[in-house]
Structure 1
């Protein structure tokens, strides 16, 4: 097996090359044999002409001066050529089957020469370096002026739990008043149970009004100690999915409909008479019960969603707040540590906004620098626009990398992770991907253009050999 790995298309090319090599070898042998015979006949003819007293011409005749245009041969399609090659070549030929060691070395030297030419055409000059320094300075100034992340939320904007409950009570009352069926609102939602007897009515579950007016089941703490769940008043929000700002819309709503509590590890327990009680409820059963409740009364789902939204509103600005979304499901320990240090959803949302703004500003700086560098383009001096664009991409890429490296070094030296410019780092990583691909494609086109020119030269040489002008 050779030194190279080949794609399916490259294997087809190798087969065609092998097939054509065999054809050329056969043609060369036939030409050699025919040429020897022709030379002998010419020699015999010349000797005969001389014996008859004819004088032979001293210069060869020129052909093609008055000939009609040579017709262009009609070539077969590539698929047809591959099909012919596959009939004749049954193995899997490799480059080592066609090229000698000297030819390999020549190919490597050609590649190095093309690479040096590409680097020469796309290397940064004095003007490019000046633009690069300006870009790096602007990117660095951006993250220096960006506020730290991870700071506590302004305590003056926090509410107590009672203030939070009072804040949303009016919304609950307004929702019930709007949808409750009364004499003045006969088209409202019915809230009566069908069964007779207290236990039978309990088995029906809560009505939509009871869902709105009662507490959410995932706030329950009683009974968790006996189950060893490690849930208390200070950490129950980061341990239950009903409080997750994203997952809560699914699990919190399902818990409200089924009177259950789902933990961050997806374990679900029933909540009855104010206590969390065993046994565990499998996730498929929770989904089945939720679907059953929704089908039983179409008003329960909008009521549960509203109750979930109201609970978010009551907890969001309180001292404990809501946990960072999704984190508890992937790393409960880290989520608990952040929550204990009062880093909650409000802090996360604020920092996400800061980093988003930082990323947008980084992108805008890149756009301005790209436009600025484009103003210096001169076709006579800089050559093709595509190659000049490679220089622009290099400037932007190097500037973002210098800024990111400086930011990371400062954060590491001060041991303060809050100084990390996450938005800028994301932009830098994206540029590493996009700019590297752009430069690689430009280099590939440069090499292909060189090969095309070389092939046209070879074609011209072949024409000159075949048709004596």
Structure 2
């Protein structure tokens, strides 16, 4: 009798049960792992956005055909960023026309700062290399970001902080400065006003943090120290205006990728909230691949111009590193498998809870009806 009932108590799984269980587990896992993977449509989105940004950079920011194949260390007119690309020219002209010459003169008089010396003529300590063409990249107060530290500090202290040709940081007091004793808020306003007075000048403002490269003391490029190379780049137009034009391809990637993600997510039946293109795992992967493709195009552009530094677009490479670092962290944490494991076990726990409730209800039913 016992043997005849064994089949009713046998809870082992046959091959069909195992296949069904594996299929269910795969489908449940796919709901999580799919956000770490790109389907064919999403891969096409990456290629379209990445190539679009890369081509815009190659032909419109600085057209590779207009860039000399000689190194920027050469002193030649054709090694200037002027007229190298339609986007670069449009951005540069727009910024240089923000203020008229009369308005620039008015701003310069109104927002005088102690760190604006264009040469060492009236300084107590000589700063080698300081001249009207490159004084803004040497004077740390002119940095669009760091200037709100160094510049404000110089204003409040009545001093001038600069980097000389040797890469040394020189700080000295400026006599006759009227800003000493000024409160912080007025110093911030003075700093902002002075940067505005410089942004529309022919040389413009330096790229944020670029001045810190002047402190590199080891190494050279074709006999040019890094210090001299950076100053030469700035004098030839590699400035804040150019940074904005180099940001256009990155803007194309950000806008097209996020918009495509939003539309495609809605088309797959996701809710509006789930489709919002902010802080999503798959969106980060899309952006990384798009930036990687665009950076690859920029690399080809540099090869085509024999390594001309003006062909280099740091904004695209920075985007690749930013999203690449995020992807690398997820890889190290094995986030995909961790989340899959967590999701599947949550389902198992939910099923177990439902089964417990069902058993309790059956026991309650049998007791109430005196069954067994």
TM-score (norm 2): 0.53
Is 1:238–2:137 an aligned residue pair?
Answer: yes
Q: Name the SS of the counterpart of 2:268 in structure 1.
A: helix
Q: Which residue of 1 aligns with 2:255?
A: 360
Unaligned 5+ segments in structure 2 are 3-20, 63-80, 82-87, 217-225, 275-279, 304-310
1:271 aligns with 2:170: no
Task: Output the aligned Cα RMSD.
Answer: 5.4
CA contact (8 A) 2:127 2:162 kept: no
Structure with larger RCO (C-alpha < 8 A, sep 6+)? 2
Structure-2 residue corresponding to 1:83: none
Q: Supply the distance in 2 between the matched residues of 1:270 and 1:142 (Cα, whole angstroms).
A: 51
| Superposed displacement of residue 373, structure 1 | 2.3
Residue 411 (structure 1) aligned with residue 298 (structure 2):
yes
- Identify the match of residue 373 of structure 1 among 258, 268, 276: 268
* Cα drift, residue 430 of structure 1: 8.6
Q: Aligned partners of 2:284, 2:106: CA distance in 1, in Å?
A: 54
SS of match in other structure, 2:104: helix
Residues of 2 paired with 1:143 and 1:372: CA distance? 25
Query: Which runs of structure 2 are paired with 1:58-457 in the superposition (5 Å)?
Result: 118-119=28-29, 129-144=39-54, 146-148=56-58, 151=62, 152=81, 153-154=88-89, 166-171=102-107, 216-222=114-120, 229-233=127-131, 234-256=133-155, 258-263=157-162, 267-272=170-175, 293-294=181-182, 302=186, 308-329=191-212, 332-333=215-216, 336=231, 338-352=233-247, 354-374=249-269, 399-400=286-287, 402-414=289-301, 415=303, 417-418=312-313, 421=316, 425=320, 428-429=323-324, 432=327, 440-441=338-339, 443-453=341-351
TM-score (norm 1): 0.44
Q: Distance in 2 between matches of 1:355 and 1:434?
A: 23
For the structure 1 residues 112 and 223, does the alpha-carbon distance in structure 2 shift closer, same or farther, using more than 3 Å as the test?
farther
- Separation in 1, partners of 2:315, 2:213: 22
Query: 1-side partners of 2:234 and 2:53: how far apart?
Result: 26
Change (3 A) 1:145 1:368: farther
Give the 5 Å matches for 1:2-41.
none
Deviations 1:390-434 (A, max 9, x none): xxx887666555544433443334435439745864785498479
Q: Quick check: 2:250–2:316 contact (8 Å CA) kept in 1? A: yes
Alpha-carbon contact 2:249-2:316 (below 8 Å) kept: no
Deviations 1:435-454 (A, max 9, x none): 98688545412222225535
1:268 deviates by 1.7
- Cα distance 1:146–1:250, how it changes in 2: closer, same or farther (>3 A)? same
* 8 A Cα contact 1:165 1:314, kept in partner: no
How far is 1:355 from its partner?
2.5
Q: How many angstroms does 1:344 deviate by?
A: 0.8
